[in-house]
Structure 1
Amino acid sequence: MALLWLLVLLALAGPVRGNWDTCKGTCGLRPLAFDHSSLVRDYDPTDFDYTSLSSSDGTAVDVASPGVPSGTWPGIVSIQATWDNGTWHMCSGALIHPQWVLTVARCFMDTKDTSNWKVMIGATDLAQPGPEAQNRRIRNVLKHQDYCDEAPGNNIALVELDQPVECSDYIQLGCVPDSSLAVPELKTCYVAGWRATPETGQSPGLVLQEAKVRLIDVQLCNSSRWYGGAVHPQELCAGYPRGGIDTCQGDTGGPLVCKDNTGDFFWLVGLTSWGKGCAGAKRPGVFTSTQHFHDWIQTQMGTVPPKTEPLPPEPPTPTIEIEPPELEPEPELVPEPEPQPVPIPDVLLRFFTNLQEFLEFLRDKLD
């Protein structure tokens, strides 16, 4: 009952940033890992016993360990391919949605047909996965559009499963952080990978093992005596300056998780991408930063619409300026001259004067 109430409280107080899952509204939980965290010892470079590790075959953790208890890493998956000589673990990934697995694009380098590939979820021993494990076929692989096999960077991919998985204590979703989480401030981080132990022999008899690592400042990781500028801004470094614990071949695509500084849950901050050698000094593991690709992940899964760049303004429609025809100037209106009195000739003037006097004479006579 106490464990049930603990899970309820975790679900209520769980992470919000970057959480889009549909498994009961939670992500980043490790229900069966609380009692096992003490088994992962802290690495002290001053008294580290290199004989407990194998640097020749790339083992990142104690090869004498039987592996982590079942359910300790409920979000990790094994991506496998079946050939004529059997089924083989190709790389790792992290379940972030009931139907989506996050991994690196390099996992599918030169692979176009994934019909003979599958994903195993909820297993720690790949030879004996147990009833809690689930297998799914691959429906589709979405590599980052800017990824190139010959060039570094953008090493991330999404694997769509043919049908959703069912979450349980052994299968949980990883939390991809968005930009609001200060990833460099996370202190307690882990990596995991499948290893062949002396008891199991070689692949496919692989068991899951884990190691505690520390995030390393990217500027230090890029310094001249480390990686000399080869680490991209979209990547993280994790491990130890003096080496000894590291991811290696077979861990490609596997999760780098860090415990939240305040809550009892974990963030999926990285995916195993590359490195020079294994467990060497000043050669830590390099991981694809999931935070950097948060928006790309959501867009590919269809949880948010793709961001569209604003359309450039349409060029103005060219206009042809038509000059108006030259108009003939209107003739200036010259005012008509006022009529001038026409002078009467003297002869007529005398005639009319005499006529007027004659008329007056007649009028007097008639009166």
Structure 2
Amino acid sequence: SSPSLPSTERIDKDESAESPQLFGKSRYLRSDDVLINVNGSHVQSSVHSYTIENLIPSSKRYIRVRSCCKDKCTPGITTQVFTRPEQPVFFKVENVSMTAFAVQINPSTYNRFQVRYCNKYSSCKTLFTSGQATVSNLTPNSTYDVEFREGLKDVNGNVVLGPAARTRVSTLSLASCTHHITSPAGIITSPHYPDIYPNGVICSWLITTAVGEKINLVFEDFDLEYSSMCENDKLSVYDGYDSDAPLLATLCGYQALPISSSSSQLYMVFESDGELREKGFNVTHSTSCGGRVLASGFNEQRIYSHAKYGEAYYSNHYDCEWLIQAKAGRVRLRFVAFGVESCSKCKCDYVKVFDGDSASSSLVGFFCGYNLPKVVTSTSSSLLIQFHTDHGSTAKGFVFAYSAVQ
């Protein structure tokens, strides 16, 4: 005959059962004791199983196993078990940049969340968070498969995970935050402005205008993370084509003064780190006459008195200054066209030419009217040209050509 099998008997509540002292303030969510009774003297299996059903999802249960004989029971062994959540975690991905993205997870009965992210070029990585986290050190212009799970860690360090919620995140490309601006005026803003800018971003703007004009920046709004040396989030402004040009300013904090370039190019770089984030900036860029130009060869280059030369007369209250410098040799200046208000002794609108790099240098030309001025050649490597207009009549303006000569 086959050995008798163990029978089970449910006891709805064991009033005599003591709560485990091991877990201090912890308590049962429900109290159901199950008795597995071994009958007779037959040899019994050393393994007995019982399925506990109808538990609460996302909950913690304590299980105590004791051995009893007649009216005596051993203290038993107690462990804790976590039930999985029924639904995947609800989350939101935000502030995606070239190298990072942020994760915001809704509050839950679970206190730990697993974030696992992979792309086809690297191995998967996993991090745990209590509700929000920044995933960083990513590759620009890459797509990551991201998986989120609720989880709890028990006293033994084991983690119980819930069902996965999945999404796909694409980091920004380097090109998406690199800008070349050629319009004479406009607005530049930080990423996501007026919302908070993302962490881990590097954006650049190269502004280029016509030779003989300079670029002006006016900050309408400025709010970056403050640090004493601007070593965290910062906006760097360079007087030229790239970051090798002279540095005009490194800006952070909450205030920025107007900035002007000395030539027809200006380069800006915005960098944010992985810490605090602020609103960002809103800057207006415009162009005006004047600036520093380089006569780098013996071929002539031209500069116009104002941006709309040939379409409209120049404006009143102009004060423009061009510094022309020869890379080698001297500077030769030749007027191609000339039309400036004629006034006694050129007291109204006029053009002055100085043989040097400042207005304290020798005056070698003082012109107004409509006749082409004489050719001027510097005795050094620099010529300074000043153009002034008053409140009276205006005219078509002028065009001059410059070159380097021996």
Structure having the higher strand fraction is 2
Structure having the higher helix fraction is 1
After TM superposition, the score normalised by the length of structure 2 is 0.17
After TM superposition, the score normalised by the length of structure 1 is 0.18
Max Rg structure = 1
Q: Which structure is higher in RCO with an 8 Å CA cutoff and minimum separation 6?
A: 1
